[in-house]
Structure 1
């Protein structure tokens, strides 16, 4: 795992994903909690919380939320959003592979493909073992990730996105390249800040993402004392993912008598 989300990129993050429907995703999270949690869940651990878009919305709905992220830039933005809020959420700087909070949580979240950023088996196992360590015996893990059958079928495309940020125009071009042996996709992102007719800043980032297959997930989770309960499309969770479902949602629970 490597450092990504530079300060310049982090500052543009919320504008870049202005059209992402976080409220609907929180509805999905609550639906899964209601359907799959055997207890009234109140505390949530949001791993890879970024700028806090899920954490803050869930805290507004009455959950007590702890968000963890490795990017100080993203966390600064998340904390600034709390200035006019009085809600039960805190943001902590740590690595999701090795944090230690000495607390159990009813729900652990890894949204927006956080698990797909764990590109090596070692990183995956450390992350999932730490999830198990912090998950209540009756708790559930909810995550979305890249679904291998669809990634191989659809293949990454070159994409162009133009959007406004303050008084500037932002142009984003992304391209992806698959590594079939490592089951990863290297995404190259170029961003240009334009004010009037002048380019005032250029940002380049590289994000490497891993895609997964169902039986691989079952084995990984079992190795980490977790049981994969369900895989569904994202965000249409009750539909079985297919070769056109780039993202899928997964639910896992602790294996009983594993500790």
Structure 2
């Protein structure tokens, strides 16, 4: 399947021109809801309350900057230069210390081995298609400390009916102009990807919604 991950930059270039937009999800209310949800997940999963956090697909930096306020040392990466410039400016305006990098989650050049206590999927995984997903998990495993945690928060199938008009059931992807943009694996398929990467799942939460669901996995990197 063909992919074009830099298409996200086209979206961010449009969003940044909208003076009312604060990120991919546009409104402050949307991010306030996301922050409350993330705090609940962190509490349920007994996440470390301090340490180094890496957000994969950080976009305009809203969640990364929220985590900094909670006391974490945060790094955010995104493939979109426009998103990273937006996030960096927000951080400077707020007097924050979060580091933002343009980088590829499939091959993170900036990141040291076993550096982060938490790696957070910023709704990035469902944008990663096919064999690239193995690289996503391999890189996440590499940068996690022994005992560190990966939090996956991703769309999943089954997709119900014809409510996503560009959904292709054969590939389980949204296809736009021949480009695969989203993957809706079944929960058990995504669980296998996590386990095959060498991580141990400690919690799974499925959130039903139409026309698809969301699955949350928290996984530990075992001590060698």
TM-score by length of structure 2 reads 0.82
* 1:18 is aligned to 2:26: yes
Q: What is the alpha-carbon distance in structure 2 between the residues aligned to residue 82 and residue 40 of structure 1?
A: 21
- The superposition leaves residues 157-206 of structure 1 with CA deviations (integer Å, 9 ceiling, x where unpaired) of xxxxxxxxxxxxxxxxxxx4111111101257xxxxxxxxxxxxxxxxx7
> Structure 2 residue aligned with 1:186, among 172, 175, 180?
175
The 8 Å contact of residues 155 and 214 in structure 2, kept in 1 or not, is answered as yes
* 1:116 is aligned to 2:126: yes
| SS across alignment from 2:60 | coil
| SS across alignment from 2:93 | coil
Match runs of 1:235-250 below 5 Å: 240-242=206-208, 244=210, 246-250=212-216
* 1:64 is aligned to 2:73: yes
| SS across alignment from 2:153 | strand
| Higher alpha-carbon deviation: 48-57 or 76-85 | 76-85
Q: What is the alpha-carbon distance in structure 2 between the residues aligned to residue 143 and residue 132 of structure 1?
A: 13
Q: What is the alpha-carbon distance in structure 2 between the residues aligned to residue 137 and residue 34 of structure 1?
A: 21
Q: CA deviation at 1:241?
A: 3.3
Match runs of 1:1-259 below 5 Å: 1-2=3-4, 3-4=6-7, 5-6=9-10, 8-11=13-16, 12=18, 14=22, 17-19=25-27, 21-37=30-46, 39-100=48-109, 101-102=111-112, 103-111=114-122, 113-120=123-130, 122-149=131-158, 151-153=159-161, 155-156=163-164, 176-187=165-176, 208-232=181-205, 240-242=206-208, 244=210, 246-257=212-223, 259=224
Q: CA RMSD in A?
A: 2.5
| Higher alpha-carbon deviation: 48-57 or 242-251 | 242-251
When residues 180 and 207 of structure 1 are mapped into structure 2, their CA distance, relative to the original with a 3 A threshold, is closer
Q: CA deviation at 1:10?
A: 4.4
Task: Give 5+ residue unaligned stretches, structure 2.
Answer: none
- The superposition leaves residues 98-131 of structure 1 with CA deviations (integer Å, 9 ceiling, x where unpaired) of 10411521211112x31011011x2101001111
Structure with bigger strand share is: 1
Task: Give 5+ residue unaligned stretches, structure 1.
Answer: 157-175, 189-205, 233-239
Matched pairs, number:
212
Bigger radius of gyration among the two: 1
- The superposition leaves residues 9-31 of structure 1 with CA deviations (integer Å, 9 ceiling, x where unpaired) of 24246376333521232232233
When residues 107 and 15 of structure 1 are mapped into structure 2, their CA distance, relative to the original with a 3 A threshold, is closer
TM-score by length of structure 1 reads 0.72
Q: What is the alpha-carbon distance in structure 1 between the residues aligned to residue 190 and residue 174 of structure 2?
A: 18
